[in-house]
A and B are shown apart, each in its own frame.
Chain A
């Protein structure tokens, strides 16, 4: 699609105050060069409909706030260029999450599951500032660390959670992002909560609920591979 022309976008609207019906609304956007889907949503907000609701923050593909479903695929609205999308461009809220209004979803179920895996470092010492605490020495080229270094790039945007069919079928499934985070902390040699964490992620609703569909890998906007983390967590459970 050449830039600098009118581009039709169709937005999935939902307003609980107006009866709660989900419907498609089309807008013709004056598309400038390099215009992103987020820019187009701002154009609609400023020129057509000030009631359109969506979430955003950094506008630079770093924070994950503007994750939504664009032309049927999860992605960051700020990182998807209109000229690279087939028109009419459809924009929907993330799946498997309650819609608050229009493109704005309630991320609480996502973060509740994230929190369930204790997604933070739990060290053996009371504090890293404890004088008795020895600094960790990692060998150069440590394979596990190389994987962790890649996997900690997750920005918790929820795209993988939305793309995962198991999340929509099995409500208790923790989801790709939470399990990826569990791996990154459990694989840390200094982690003091590894056994407990592994116990949690191998129970029902954890890594064995995953069917290796792989949509999470396909959609991740920052190139994280949650399925790899899930596989490694399973191996941690299998190779005991």
Chain B
């Protein structure tokens, strides 16, 4: 079979998500280990960030993570939404939004990583004391949306099962893997955007940055933070599973149920230590 170059928006997204996924996976697990296993998100104070970014290697690491995570997330979300957007105007708006979000957050993140910390605790934005409240409000909103979404989906499924009504394509393990992958990706992208904004306080108002990260210790946010770790772990391993499946010329796709169980077990096993750390356990 002679081949032709792949073309089109979907072909670009398919290739980019795989290339960026392979490049990002090691960076993500190092980040998870440092921030969620060896430490606490609420302990990532301005002093912690200052010490970390004193090393050029960590700055380069964080910038690569930002670049790959942001573009991977935006390309994935754009592909997902572009598939359901029907009208040309909606599609154009999506294209413009994706480009603008990437440029704005990548530009802001790059500037923050390159900037030096102010000499004292305070910076030029320290008088804007409403900023931590706004960012914490954003985190609480994401957490509430996640809790309500999970409860509503669980209740809807439970009611259907109780009434013995068909549950649509949810009978198939592949459907669960697909839906959880997309939900996890969307959740991680949402958090990443808020996270870029809170870290952006570091060079402009270290005191406000400290107040913002202290909010991560709120009990209300802890299930969301554990869920985010689980989302990252699941999304990463499911992506690797897909790439392995695509690399094999075998009928590996018949392994849907066992691979789904393995994914769930792996995700829970790797997320439980992070939850324990969030709840105060120290090794």
Contact = CB atoms under 8 A, between A and B. Distances in A.
A169 B178 CA distance: 13
B166 A165 contact: no
Max chain B C-beta neighbours (<10 A), residue from A88, A204, A205: A204
Given A211-B178, A237-B3, 16 more contacts: A72-B170, A169-B84, A187-B1, A198-B1, A203-B7, A204-B10, A209-B10, A214-B173, A214-B253, A215-B169, A215-B172, A215-B175, A217-B174, A217-B254, A228-B249, A238-B3
B164 A72 contact: no
A240 interface: yes
Interface size class of B (residues with CB under 8 A): 35 or more
A146 B169 CA distance: 31
Contacts of A208: 6, 8, 10-11, 13-14
A170 interface: yes
A195 B4 contact: yes
Interface of B: 1-11, 13-15, 83-84, 164-175, 177-178, 242, 245-246, 249-251, 253-254, 256
Interface of A: 69, 71-73, 88, 90, 92, 95, 143, 147, 163, 165, 169-170, 186-187, 191, 194-195, 198-199, 202-206, 208-209, 211-215, 217-219, 225, 227-228, 231-232, 234-240
Contacts of B13: 208
A225 B175 contact: no
A85 to B, nearest CB: 12
Interface majority SS (helix, strand, loop, mixed), chain B:
helix
A234 B8 CA distance: 13
Contacts of A227: 253
A202 B253 CA distance: 21
